[in-house]
Structure 1
Amino acid sequence: MLKTLKTYIGEYKKIAISAPVFIVGEVILEMIIPLLMAAIIDDGLGAGNMSYVVKVGLIMLAASFASLFCGAMAAKQASIASTGFAKNLREAMYGRIQEFSFSNIDRFSTAGLVTRLTTDVTNVQNAFQMIMRMFTRAPITLITAMTMSFLINARLALVFLGALVFLGCVIFFLMGKVGPYFREMFEKYDGLNASVQENLTGIRVVKAYVREEHETEKFKKASYALYLCAVRAEKVMVSMMPIMQFTVYTCIILLSWLGAKTIVVGGMTTGNLMSMFSYTMNILMSLMMIAMVTVMISMAKSSAERICGVLEEKSDLTSKSKFTAEKEVKDGSIAFEDVCFSYHGDKENLHLSHVNLKIQSGETIGILGGTGSAKSTLVQLIPRLYDVTSGSVKVGGVDVREYDLEALRNEVSMVLQKNVLFSGTIKENLRWGDKNASDEELEHVCRLACAHEFIEKFPKQYDTYIEQGGTNVSGGQKQRLCIARALLKKPKILILDDSTSAVDTHTDAMIRKAFREEIPDTTKLIIAQRVSSVQDADKIIVLNDGQIDGIGTHEELLANNAIYREVYESQQKGGDMDEQQ
């Protein structure tokens, strides 16, 4: 885990090293000050030598300012290094997530990934900063102060040694108990974030069904679960401070009593006792710092494990070496050769079973089937969003696993079942298909997708701002914009996954007509619920429970396929009833 994390310190390594160097300077200067103070008391005030007091006092003042400067520089360097480290971690995780296949993403909840990018990184950042400052300062201060104390009076210094052993045992015991609570707490954070995300994403449905009270109650449960877990952790940690204070006061009492007796018998001077008191506070404050940092490290350890889980996750889909990968898709021909597929890699529970299929470049293919028949699963294997469990999928005569992933996906445009638009103008959304597209090209693809007409009605037309998720346009408008965006890629294969369900039959027909006339060489796969959307296709594939139940033209399937005939007749009856009404 540490080996993984330390690589992301990156360009901040020198700054991260300089912070402890300044800390060492600060500690050394601080340790000199009690000795100077003892000299003032014993050799200056005790001897009545005021010039000596002034001289040593000025040296002590200079040492104080130098210590202050070193402390300020250490704080500045540690802040820069820890913030940069957090930046690198977030960028690395975000980049890794972009490389994930769908199956990788399925292993992490969306809320869990958000928590890792925010709360978990912040915990690791704070721990890293504390390690550079307090965890460097505390041991050095502790060792230096203990050494100085033993040099002044070894017998009195044994008090500190006993306190050190006692507090070390307490800290070790408490850390062992509190660690599991912190791990559980971050899982509760995931649940809380999931509740918020789900509510905000589906806020229109929540309000439409008047379920605000239900959602509030669900959030309260998630929040209360986090509260209970945090309380359990705090109950363990709350005992640390009283124990440390008890140890501090015990040390001070013992030092006062034993020190007074030593002075009486002439074993040490008053100045030395005052120095011992200063070192006492340094030693005990160091122990408290170590305890605080240990708590933070324990919390950060749980966060670091979750972060490394993302950073070390290997994508299920790996592109071939740039020297061996196919970089050009010859044409839009598609072949499924004995393809079996399971989302969980379980060969006993297949979602697609022994699919054999050949599609010629430029053909229009309709895909029909009931809910759960694996229509979307079938087409997601073409751009290699998932890899087959067995068999092979070929595009342009080459197994998709032999292509460079970017080269393959640049030639396959896919309009998913769930249409997604991003915050930005219509132009910016469309240029996801081609970032260098001209305004004329944007208008052309929008005309093909029957989107130009409604865009012109907006006051700002193509500069109209689309809210996050496309909430300020209708479902049909969103679908047409997504189709236009896909067309702008000029792909060899175009996949429409139930992407015209929200448009009327006339607009649907106009879009299909534009496809036939404008992109005849592009292979078009159209998943639809309406028979009318696919009946003029070159071939129609009927899927049933992950298997091909029939392939043919509209007329052939009406004559030979019971599922297709049943769907067609039920839709015809529905259409007749609509006309009568």
Structure 2
Amino acid sequence: MMRLFRYLTSYKWPITAILVLVFVQSLSDLYLPTLMADIVDVGIVHGDTFFIWKVGGFMLLVAAGGGLCAIGASYFSSKVAMSFGRELRAKVFNQVEHYSLQEIDQIGTASLITRTTNDINQVQQVLIMILRIMVAAPMMCIGGIIMASSKDAKLTLVLAVVVPILALAIFLIARKGMPLFKAMQKKLDKLNLVVREGLTGIRVIRSFNRIDLEKRRFNEANSDLTQTAINVNRIMAALMPIMMLTFNLSAVAILWFGGIRVSNMDLQVGDLMAFIQYATQIMFSLVMLSMIFVMVPRASASAIRINEVLDLHSTIYDRSEPVTQTKTTTPGTVEFQDVTFSYPGAEHPALTSITFTARPGQTTAIIGGTGSGKSTILNLVERFYDVTSGAIRVDGLDIRDLPLEQLRAKIGYVPQKVLLFSGSIADNIRFGKEDATDAEIEHAAIIAQAGDFIASMKGGYEAHISQGGTNVSGGQKQRLSIARAIVRQPAIYMFDDSFSALDFKTDALLRAALKEEVEKNQSTLIIVAQRVSTVMDADQIIVLDEGSIAGMGTHQELMQNCEVYQEIVRSQLTEEEIA
């Protein structure tokens, strides 16, 4: 957890103010019992009313000063902790934003959400306690021991026995609770995962009548977390009875031995009262420290998880070496040169020895069976993953030598799983180009065959899109996603099975309009599709089979020399359509 606190360097002045205020507050609290002892031993014993009023008034001033310092320390500690939490959340979020898909898959989406919210909140809360309590408690404990010794050194032997026993109990309980706190955070991840899957997959769950199954999954995860929380709280609950028992026994011992010393005239009554108050302050400081030890184990477990996120750096990064043009190619050219790729932990490569070139002004289509590696090709061009061997070149340059921002600025990508953001239709299309004009947005929508249904919606381009696009159909979502890529006017278009929800007529109209746009701008168009009708007119069709290229050419050429393509065509088209 101390590694995270290095981010507190920008708050050194507020922290300094907290330390000063806590120090003054502690001095105030430590001085009050001595003043009370003076009132008893001098004012009451001698019947000096003026002395009582004078010292009593001074006690009020000291108490008021201590109270003001406590308020100031609480204000600054809360402000520092909240600002620290804000900064830490921003750092974690920015780190995750730079992750490749490999790192996101490694940690898991549900765990990343928990670490960004719950884990940081745990550290944030314990920081408030550290700034307020962990600084004040040692001062009160050490100062109380010193002041108690000044009143009666022999009576302090009671504290010398009690304090180590209490400290040992706190240590043993905290050590036993630490592993359970770590387990709790992992089980919170699991619960978050189940809830997230249940909410995002609610349509599938209901359509298959699996509500009871999801309830069981949730109850199992919830019960597991609850049982662990009960176990850890049962351990921590033992701390308070131990402390109260120790405190009460020490109070009895102090009164017993202190009474003997008072009767022997070795100790004044006021000093005994002050000693009891100092003993109370010492015990109370240990109680405060125990509260820290209850929270620190869980916060430490959270801090470890946060550091894992901050220490894990993306395998996809910009190289520091200057980029040099190795050869002249037409802008937008995409070349695969003997590319092989394996997903982390996979037994077999997803792609093997892939070589082809997608040229500007042309349409390159990729078709193949499920799991043949079609989407993987597009993921590699975007550098969501890096190739295992071989090279991918854009404009003649290895994409690993291009800055990620520069590479992705060349690409208009439509993913297989369409995602729309909450906001207006115009906002969603403008996501592809932040400064797109209304005319550019409308032009992109018309090419994507979205103009008609947008016009029919209330508000037109300002019509609201709900989270995830749940208020529009699958085909409408695909067309808006396509318009988002078109408005970008990229050098390279990549469509990952983005026409699957369109009817054949809309599909044909969209492809015709898109082809005209591609030829006009001399862009490169790469289409991944399942339907033969979508790829038949492509200038180049690449047929994948189990991660390898089974054939490459036009529709007519493949019908003559590629058995895999012929099987795909026969499975989708009638003999009359083939002819």
TM-score, normalised by the number of residues in structure 1: 0.96
Alignment of 1:148-547 (within 5 A): 148-321=147-320, 324=323, 331-344=331-344, 349-520=348-519, 521-547=522-548
The answer for the alignment partner of 1:60 in structure 2 is 59
In structure 2, distance between residues paired with 1:57 and 1:225: 57
The answer for the alignment partner of 2:85 in structure 1 is 86
The answer for the alignment partner of 2:41 in structure 1 is 42
**Structure 1 counterpart of 2:557, which letter?**
E
**Structure 2 counterpart of 1:548, which letter?**
I
Q: What are the Cα deviations for residues 509-566 of structure 1, in whole angstroms up to 9, with x where unaligned? A: 1111112212211111111111010011011000011111110110111111111101
- 2:341–2:349: 8 Å Cα contact kept in structure 1? yes
Change (3 A) 1:350 1:45: same
- 1:319–1:325: 8 Å Cα contact kept in structure 2? no
1:574 is displaced (CA, Å) by 9.7
Q: What are the Cα deviations for residues 34-76 of structure 1, in whole angstroms up to 9, with x where unaligned? A: 0000000011110111101111011000000000000000000
Change (3 A) 1:45 1:358: same
1:573 is displaced (CA, Å) by 3.3
Correspondence 1:558 to 2:559: yes
Change (3 A) 1:22 1:572: same
- 1:400–1:408: 8 Å Cα contact kept in structure 2? yes
1:190 is displaced (CA, Å) by 0.7
In structure 2, distance between residues paired with 1:257 and 1:147: 21
The answer for the alignment partner of 1:24 in structure 2 is 23
1:213 is displaced (CA, Å) by 2.3
1:310 is displaced (CA, Å) by 0.8
**Structure 1 counterpart of 2:543, which letter?**
V
In structure 2, distance between residues paired with 1:176 and 1:10: 30
**Structure 2 counterpart of 1:544, which letter?**
D
The answer for the alignment partner of 1:569 in structure 2 is 570
**Structure 2 counterpart of 1:571, which letter?**
Q
Q: What are the Cα deviations for residues 273-302 of structure 1, in whole angstroms up to 9, with x where unaligned? A: 000010011000011111110111111000
Change (3 A) 1:323 1:553: closer
Local SS of the residue matching 2:154:
helix
In structure 1, distance between residues paired with 2:576 and 2:260: 106
**Structure 2 counterpart of 1:377, which letter?**
T
Q: What are the Cα deviations for residues 302-344 of structure 1, in whole angstroms up to 9, with x where unaligned? A: 0000111111111111112385588x99611111111111111
In structure 2, distance between residues paired with 1:329 and 1:273: 93
Local SS of the residue matching 1:496:
strand
- 1:78–1:133: 8 Å Cα contact kept in structure 2? yes
Change (3 A) 1:574 1:226: farther
- 1:329–1:396: 8 Å Cα contact kept in structure 2? yes
- 1:29–1:67: 8 Å Cα contact kept in structure 2? yes
Q: What are the Cα deviations for residues 116-155 of structure 1, in whole angstroms up to 9, with x where unaligned? A: 1111111000111100011011100000000011111111
The answer for the alignment partner of 1:115 in structure 2 is 114
- 1:96–1:310: 8 Å Cα contact kept in structure 2? yes
Change (3 A) 1:409 1:322: farther
Change (3 A) 1:56 1:213: same
The answer for the alignment partner of 1:128 in structure 2 is 127
Change (3 A) 1:294 1:566: same
1:109 is displaced (CA, Å) by 1.4
- 2:518–2:525: 8 Å Cα contact kept in structure 1? no
In structure 1, distance between residues paired with 2:405 and 2:524: 19
- 1:26–1:68: 8 Å Cα contact kept in structure 2? yes
- 1:156–1:255: 8 Å Cα contact kept in structure 2? yes
In structure 1, distance between residues paired with 2:329 and 2:248: 78
In structure 1, distance between residues paired with 2:159 and 2:234: 28
In structure 1, distance between residues paired with 2:263 and 2:575: 109
1:359 is displaced (CA, Å) by 2.2
In structure 1, distance between residues paired with 2:329 and 2:490: 10
Local SS of the residue matching 2:365:
strand
Q: For structure 1, which runs of at least 5 residues remain unmatched after alignment? A: 577-581
Same amino acid, percent of matched pairs: 39
- 2:392–2:399: 8 Å Cα contact kept in structure 1? yes
1:575 is displaced (CA, Å) by 9.2
- 1:329–1:411: 8 Å Cα contact kept in structure 2? no
Change (3 A) 1:155 1:248: same
- 2:366–2:529: 8 Å Cα contact kept in structure 1? yes
1:466 is displaced (CA, Å) by 0.6
Change (3 A) 1:233 1:243: same
**Structure 2 counterpart of 1:151, which letter?**
S
Change (3 A) 1:325 1:279: farther
In structure 2, distance between residues paired with 1:283 and 1:514: 81
**Structure 1 counterpart of 2:82, which letter?**
T
Q: How many residues matched?
A: 574
1:8 is displaced (CA, Å) by 2.6
In structure 2, distance between residues paired with 1:16 and 1:209: 57
In structure 1, distance between residues paired with 2:116 and 2:364: 42
Mean CA deviation greater in 493-502 or 351-360: 351-360
Q: For structure 2, which runs of at least 5 residues remain unmatched after alignment? A: none
- 2:358–2:526: 8 Å Cα contact kept in structure 1? no
- 1:13–1:81: 8 Å Cα contact kept in structure 2? no
Q: What are the Cα deviations for residues 163-184 of structure 1, in whole angstroms up to 9, with x where unaligned? A: 1110111111111111110000
In structure 2, distance between residues paired with 1:314 and 1:258: 63
Q: What are the Cα deviations for residues 63-106 of structure 1, in whole angstroms up to 9, with x where unaligned? A: 00000000000000000000000000111111111111111111
Question: Please, what is the CA RMSD of the aligned residues?
Answer: 1.7
The answer for the alignment partner of 1:579 in structure 2 is none
**Structure 1 counterpart of 2:405, which letter?**
E
